[in-house]
């Protein structure tokens, strides 16, 4: 019998007992006999690395993926319980995300999608707390004075810094030259600054949109850049409904791991897992780079694609050294510091979405999927995002116990889900994850204008390309941004060789 694929990552909490490690189909086997030299070595097997390795290897290049984890997928992977796939990291896909959608079409997965119950059309009300200690308030979604009407009106005013709802300022969000020329004054605004410029908005409406903006980076509005919000809405068509659909509506039935496995199945690249890179050293006498892992494995290549997340750029020794600005960004860290928690309740829950303003132990959460197979016990899976700074983080067990204590108050009220009581919890602690040090990337104030160009620069004389969703042109921090960067980095390697071959024939 084949062993059950399991990662050492993640935790399962049940009956006041914690179990380390979770089932995942992403825990594949390493190549048995990797070679000492490859045309290209890709550091990291998140979607950026997987895509780059696939495109290069299917174009005839010998490629090695070196992965620190015991699984593929990076900040995107899924586990399973009671027939339900739970995304422990990145989740959402939608046709407004062009790169990921083309990948889904490529593998026939565009027909393997599901709708999250807590963000679906079945959702009748939003539950909201102005502050963590406040009672829950309910807002109906539709009709006059409903949540959708409030949000569409208020967000248009929020984005309208140009008399056109933001559409002139960010007319071409993928064009880095266009974005570079956006007036600096808009980069200097926090979300709070912008809300303070709108005295005509009722405070209640400001609190509602502030709570939504705080879900973008799980940070307070005085730390969240206005430009980050403008970017997300610009990529979604500058509407509230378009934004909701783009960022929290559809996910893969069998998890994002099904997409990662489809890419690996097509790829001809070799892979070594559980092999964190220690150093990347470029020879000063010949076009050769030596990569050494922490366990002493040594591989050589002429070209490197480094897909390390921004928060981890300082964890590998580069010689020649990489840009001081890359290292400064790694020291400062991006905003999103959370734990992602899935809960299982034996009771079937009414579709629910809840959010609250910071400081809050649970910034937001929602019902995700009902268990329809009676043999699996019925019930509902839900998802919550826990604040790193507010929860008891002394031990994983302490965190689980606190979550079990406070989660009922997030969903319970007399009319809706009065018996919310999580029987099991599954989580990934992204903040204390050594190879991520945070969840999806949300830029802090100052990063757009001070660090972005440096993060995108090649290093070591152009032999080392840096590619990651954290500095994508489009959906930064999303699966789509990872595909954008993986494709473009592979194409650059192939184009460089093609141009060199043409020049040699002249």
The answer to whether the CB of 148 falls within 8 A of the CB of 240 is yes
- Which of helix, strand or coil describes residue 438? coil
The answer to whether the CB of 467 falls within 8 A of the CB of 305 is yes
In sequence order, what are the residues at sequence separation of 6 or more whose Cβ sits closer than 8 angstroms to the Cβ of residue 135? 129
Among candidates 60, 62, 66, which has minimal Cα distance to 40?
62
The answer to whether the CB of 382 falls within 8 A of the CB of 368 is yes
The answer to whether the CB of 62 falls within 8 A of the CB of 440 is no
Instruction: Report residue 60 CA to chain centroid gap.
Output: 31
Residues in the chain: 506
The answer to whether the CB of 292 falls within 8 A of the CB of 329 is no
The answer to whether the CB of 244 falls within 8 A of the CB of 254 is no
The sign of the CA dihedral 104, 110, 111, 114 is: positive
Binding-site residues for substrate, please?
Answer: 384
DSSP string, 174-205: T-HHHHHTS-HHHHT-BHHHHHHT-TTS-HHH
HSE of 259, CA atoms in CB hemisphere, 13 A: 38
* Region for 424 from its dihedrals, namely left if φ exceeds 0, alpha if ψ lies in -120 to 50, beta otherwise: beta
CA dihedral 302, 456, 77, 406 (to 10 degrees): 150
In sequence order, what are the residues at sequence separation of 6 or more whose Cβ sits closer than 8 angstroms to the Cβ of residue 131? 356, 357, 360
Binding-site residues for FAD, please?
Answer: 48, 67-68, 277
HSE of 283, CA atoms in CB hemisphere, 13 A: 10
In sequence order, what are the residues at sequence separation of 6 or more whose Cβ sits closer than 8 angstroms to the Cβ of residue 108? none
Phi, psi of 206 (to 5 degrees): -60, -40
Phi, psi of 214 (to 5 degrees): -70, -15
Q: Which two tokens stand for residue 88?
A: 């422990």
Among candidates 108, 439, 74, which has minimal Cα distance to 257?
74
The answer to whether the CB of 449 falls within 8 A of the CB of 184 is yes
- Which of helix, strand or coil describes residue 355? strand
The answer to whether the CB of 113 falls within 8 A of the CB of 263 is no
Among candidates 290, 320, 296, which has minimal Cα distance to 460?
320
């Amino acid at each position: 019998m084949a062993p059950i694929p399991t990662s050492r990552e993640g935790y399962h909490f049940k009956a006041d007992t914690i179990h380390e490690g979770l089932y995942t189909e992403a825990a594949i086997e390493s190549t048995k006999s990797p070679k000492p030299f490859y045309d290209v070595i890709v550091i990291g097997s998140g979607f950026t690395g997987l895509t780059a390795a696939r495109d290069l290897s299917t174009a005839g290049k010998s490629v090695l993926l070196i992965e620190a984890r015991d699984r593929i997928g990076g900040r995107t992977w899924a586990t399973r319980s009671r027939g339900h796939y739970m995304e422990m990291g990145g989740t959402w896909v939608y046709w407004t995300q062009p790169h990921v959608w083309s990948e889904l079409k490529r593998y026939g997965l565009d027909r393997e999608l599901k709708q999250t119950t807590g963000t679906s059309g079945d959702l009748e009300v939003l539950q909201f707390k102005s502050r963590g200690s406040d009672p829950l308030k309910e807002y109906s979604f539709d009709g006059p004075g409903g949540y959708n009407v409030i949000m569409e009106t208020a967000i248009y005013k929020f984005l309208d810094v140009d008399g056109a709802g933001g559409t002139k300022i960010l007319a071409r969000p993928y064009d880095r030259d266009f974005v570079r020329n956006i007036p600096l004054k808009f980069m200097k605004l926090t979300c709070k600054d912008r809300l303070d410029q709108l005295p005509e908005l009722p405070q209640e409406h400001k609190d509602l949109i502030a709570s939504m903006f705080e879900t973008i980076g799980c940070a307070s509005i005085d730390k969240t850049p206005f430009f980050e919000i403008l970017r997300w809405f610009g990529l979604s068509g500058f509407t509230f409904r378009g934004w909701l659909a783009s960022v929290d509506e559809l996910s893969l039935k069998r998890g994002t791991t099904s997409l990662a496995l489809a890419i690996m199945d097509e790829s001809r690249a070799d892979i070594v897992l559980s092999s964190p890179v220690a150093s990347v050293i470029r020879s000063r006498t010949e076009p050769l780079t030596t990569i050494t892992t922490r366990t002493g494995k040594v591989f050589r290549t002429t070209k490197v694609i480094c897909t390390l997340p921004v928060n981890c750029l300082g964890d590998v020794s580069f010689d020649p050294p990489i840009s001081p600005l890359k290292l400064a960004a790694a020291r400062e860290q991006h905003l999103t510091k959370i734990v992602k928690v899935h809960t299982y309740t034996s009771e079937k829950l009414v579709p629910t979405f809840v959010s609250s303003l910071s400081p809050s132990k649970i910034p937001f959460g929602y019902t995700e999927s009902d268990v329809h197979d009676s043999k699996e016990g019925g019930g509902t899976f839900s998802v919550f995002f826990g604040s790193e700074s507010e929860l008891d983080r002394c031990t994983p067990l302490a965190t689980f116990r606190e979550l079990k204590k406070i989660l009922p108050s997030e969903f319970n009220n007399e009319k809706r889900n009065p018996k919310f009581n999580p029987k099991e919890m599954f989580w990934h602690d992204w903040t204390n994850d050594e190879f991520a040090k945070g969840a999806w990337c949300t830029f802090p104030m100052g990063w757009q204008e001070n660090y972005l160009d440096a993060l995108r620069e090649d290093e070591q004389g152009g032999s080392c390309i840096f590619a990651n969703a954290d500095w994508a042109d489009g959906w930064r921090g999303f699966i789509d941004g990872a595909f954008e960067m993986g494709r473009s980095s592979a194409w650059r390697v192939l184009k460089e060789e093609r141009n060199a071959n043409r020049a040699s024939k002249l």
